Amino acid sequence: MSDYLEKIKAQIPNIQPFAGKYAEPVEGSYITYTGPGQLKVPDKVVIGYIEGDGTGPEVAYAAIKVANAAVERAYGKSRRVLWYEVLVGSKAEKILGSRLPDQSVEVLKKIRVFLKAPLETPVGGGFRSLNVTLRQIFDLYANIRPVKYFPGLPSPLKRPESVDLVIFRENTEDVYMGIEWPWNSPEAAKVREFLRRELKVDIRDDAGIGIKPISKFGTQRIARLALKFAVENKRRVVTIMHKGNIQKYTEGAFRDWAYEVAKNEFRDHVVLEEELAQYGGKVPPGKILVNDRIADNMLQQLLTRTGEYDVILAPNLNGDYVSDEAAGLVGGLGVAPGIDVGDWGMMAEPVHGTAPKYTGKNYVNPTATILALELLFRFIGWREAADLITRGVSKAYSEGYFTGDLARQMTDEERKVVKEVLGTQEFAEKVAEIIKTEL
């Protein structure tokens, strides 16, 4: 694997890989924040990257190739990125003795804006998710996941072109806070005893305990961001996804607090579903419809009434579920990007995991990571480069270039559009070539 990676790295001139210790960037300057969500981006900018685990390094370097091509095509020599490696995950543990070393955290605090390739998260035990930890350290409270169909991608839908969603998933609360105890721990016993004694709630002695906090503050800041995005990008609908019929004081409160923001801060821009009767059942021109749906119903309606949904606002767990289902409508997690945004930083990442069985095989689809960098460029204001990435990926698919994960999903009829099945690096190089020569 190391020789394979070294060969890939050698093809990328403007990276600064970790070389035994952290050193100052050889060129460029950091992004600075002048206020909450207010960025100052230098033309020669330092952006961090975390290689990740499993297939993470392969997709990270593939995406950087495409990003470099887009920056060069959009800006010539006037703008440039220095990609600065920060160690997190298994590589950090081998070299620095920890999966999340303090020195790596300090470097990320300087850089503020970075790409994170997939990191390993054990199931049922072991260390805590580093993905969640990074989001919480930097208070990246909004996980934003666009899901859009590219013509040619395999889809189970009859009309996949109707899929054009942006999911805003609250990122710091809910069960993802990791406040839980094993059933046989002293802590779980104390919680069970407290519930019985003080609140008259009985829980079985063999039950593990988890706590699900959802706050007004956390809810309303992501609701504000989602509604602001909808207004600025002329979206049609913002749907609050919740399970408030059962979890009334967490997810039900999420619904109520989100509506408060819509009514109190965006009144001139929105119309509530309950108000449509006074407009003849139609959304007035220039207004955004704000409605809500119960989570389980929402998941099936994405399949049966796909085109009715646009921007989806959800608590952490619901947002995880709905974004994965939505990705399945347009080719799977291999084409699903995400970006975690806070008031003082951002982390671009693919939605998929580390896919360890494919490590070093040049097989996995890099599109999700490529599009994660498209999101990063869009959020730092480099929209021209972001547009080129989107167009480059779309054109690669429309010309018949696919990776193996997509080709294997296709029916015999769908395979007629396939010109060539490419590996991870070859697909990235094809997209970069299209950006440089065809756009």
Catalytic residues: 176, 243, 296, 320
Is 224 annotated to bind ligand?
A: no
Is 255 annotated to bind ligand?
A: no
Is 268 annotated to bind ligand?
A: no
* Burial environment of residue 395 by CB neighbours within 10 A (0 to 12, 13 to 18, 19 or more): middle
State how far the Cα of 318 lies from the Cα of 320, in Å rounded to an integer: 5
Is 408 annotated to bind ligand?
A: yes
Q: Three-state DSSP class for 255?
A: helix
Is 76 annotated to bind ligand?
A: no
Cβ-contact 142, 223 below 8 angstroms: no
Is 391 annotated to bind ligand?
A: no
CA dihedral 345, 351, 356, 361 (to 10 degrees): -100
Residue 421 bridge partners (DSSP): 402
Cβ-contact 421, 407 below 8 angstroms: yes
Q: Three-state DSSP class for 433?
A: helix
Is 13 annotated to bind ligand?
A: no
Residue appearing with tokens 């930890």: 133
State how far the Cα of 192 lies from the Cα of 28, in Å rounded to an integer: 55
* Rg of the chain on CA atoms, in Å: 22
Is 135 annotated to bind ligand?
A: yes
Cβ-contact 185, 368 below 8 angstroms: no
Count Cβ neighbours within 10 Å for each residue of 267-301 and write b for 16 or more, e otherwise.
eeebbeeeeeeeeeeebeeebbbbbbbbbeebbee
CA 154, distance to chain mean position in Å, is: 21
Is 355 annotated to bind ligand?
A: yes
Is 358 annotated to bind ligand?
A: yes
Is 357 annotated to bind ligand?
A: yes
CA dihedral 343, 349, 352, 353 (to 10 degrees): -100
Q: How many CA atoms lie within 13 A of 77 on its CB side?
A: 0
Is 133 annotated to bind ligand?
A: no
Is 129 annotated to bind ligand?
A: yes
Q: What residues are designated binding site for Mg(2+)?
A: 320
Q: What residues are designated binding site?
A: 129, 131, 135, 145, 169, 320, 352-358, 365, 408
Q: What residues are designated binding site for NADP(+)?
A: 352-358, 365, 408
Q: What residues are designated binding site for D-threo-isocitrate?
A: 129, 131, 135, 145, 169
